[in-house]
A and B are shown apart, each in its own frame.
Chain A
Amino acid sequence: AAGVIQSPRHLIKEKRETATLKCYPIPRHDTVYWYQQGPGQDPQFLISFYEKMQSDKGSIPDRFSAQQFSDYHSELNMSSLELGDSALYFCASSPRRSLAGAIYEQYFGPGTRLTVT
């Protein structure tokens, strides 16, 4: 079965540089989520998009921005990178509502490991 695709899988940047992470959701999934997982920590929600509109926002720094495109893929843009931005960045997607109306599981991509030096 198709899974969430993230690219690149690994990224090394220097302080103050910019980075762009890409996410391709599972086909027919229209909602995308971004999470940041620091070393030894649980994932923290950054932002989500539904039908190309921002639907929820978490602890995303102002230096970061994201968007979802017409083909439902999403990009997370990170500027003025800091050492503390080193983390595993997950993208997840979820399908349209079930017949019962509820939204179920979020399927995670393999993550992009960002290292800022």
Chain B
Amino acid sequence: AQKITQTQPGMFVQEKEAVTLDCTYDTSDPSYGLFWYKQPSSGEMIFLIYQGSYDQQNATEGRYSLNFQKARKSANLVISASQLGDSAMYFCAMREGIYNQGGKLIFGQGTELSVKP
């Protein structure tokens, strides 16, 4: 069965520094996608970055990059140059069967990131 694990309930980082949020996953499906979402205290879920299982290169989106290590089944999110506005809950999620329409996302438990000035 598919599973997502985030082992860091809370993280602190100094403003302008980089931070890595850990995510490991388990699946037997060769076609899967890995996602990171940001959830501020206001509650909305903001899509950050996506990595497909067949993608050869690590995904990057501005200050966000995904360190994808397929053999280790890890998909860590790296945020460079942290900003105060990055303080939020971060969820790692996985979807199996990325070629099928309507597949669900399975989420990890989340990591609460606090950026210190």
Chain A interface residues (CB < 8 Å from chain B): 30-31, 33, 35, 42-45, 48-51, 55-56, 58, 88, 90, 92, 97, 101-111, 113
> Can you list 27 A-B pairs, Cβ within 8 angstroms, ordered by A?
A31-B102, A33-B104, A42-B107, A42-B110, A44-B107, A50-B101, A51-B101, A56-B102, A56-B103, A56-B104, A92-B105, A101-B99, A102-B31, A103-B99, A103-B100, A104-B33, A104-B98, A105-B35, A105-B47, A105-B50, A106-B35, A106-B47, A106-B95, A106-B105, A107-B47, A110-B44, A113-B43
How does the 8 Å CB contact mask read for B24-58 relative to A, with 1 for contact and 0 for none? 00000001010101000001111100101000000
Taking a contact as CB atoms closer than 8 A, the residue among A45, A55, A88, A109 that contacts B105 in the complex is: A45
Q: Is B80 an interface residue (CB 8 A)?
A: no
Chain B interface residues (CB < 8 Å from chain A): 31, 33, 35, 37, 43-47, 50, 52, 91, 95, 98-110
Docked pose: A117 CA to B95 CA in angstroms: 34
Is A97 in contact with B45, judged by CB distance below 8 angstroms? no
Q: What would 14 more interface pairs be, CB under 8 Å, given A50-B102, A90-B45?
A: A31-B102, A42-B107, A43-B91, A43-B107, A55-B102, A88-B43, A97-B101, A102-B33, A104-B33, A105-B47, A106-B105, A107-B47, A108-B45, A110-B43
Q: Which of A31, A58, A103, A107 has the most CB of B within 10 A?
A: A103
